[in-house]
Amino acid sequence: MSENKKTILFLCTGNSCRSQIAEGWARALGSNFFTILSAGLETHGKNPRAIAVMDEVGIDISGQESTVVTDEMVKNADTIITVCGHADEHCPAISGDQEKIHWPLSDPAKATGTEEEITAVFRKTRDDIKQCVSEFIKNRQ
């Protein structure tokens, strides 16, 4: 089955939070059906709060890398999913046979307030991304 897997590339500005969470959910929910990658237009490292809120639901994303998108990654992706407006606007050129989807997710790294309030924003983003990933996988099986 692996030779028939389609490749999904989650693309964000810094590949530190939303795209990392999306990669984690997609690996947990759809790795039997898809090859999953994430990258950024640049790298900002991994966000410790993103790692923590995914750990709360039993998904370890700490081993994922924060990487810069390459032409090869884009070329080999069947579907490119942008998870922030900046990445959507500056997405590398894709071929006509590739699918591009945009999920307009707010950036939890910009949350302010107490630690509890910031963590609540990260949890909401995590849950929103789970919903997006679940629907994407369900519609492609």
| 12 catalytic per annotation | yes
Single out the catalytic residue among 26, 84, 121, 132. Answer: 84
Single out the catalytic residue among 28, 52, 62, 91. Answer: 91
13, 40 contact by CB (below 8 A): yes
Single out the catalytic residue among 8, 9, 11, 12. Answer: 12
| 132 catalytic per annotation | no
Active-site residue set: 12, 84, 91
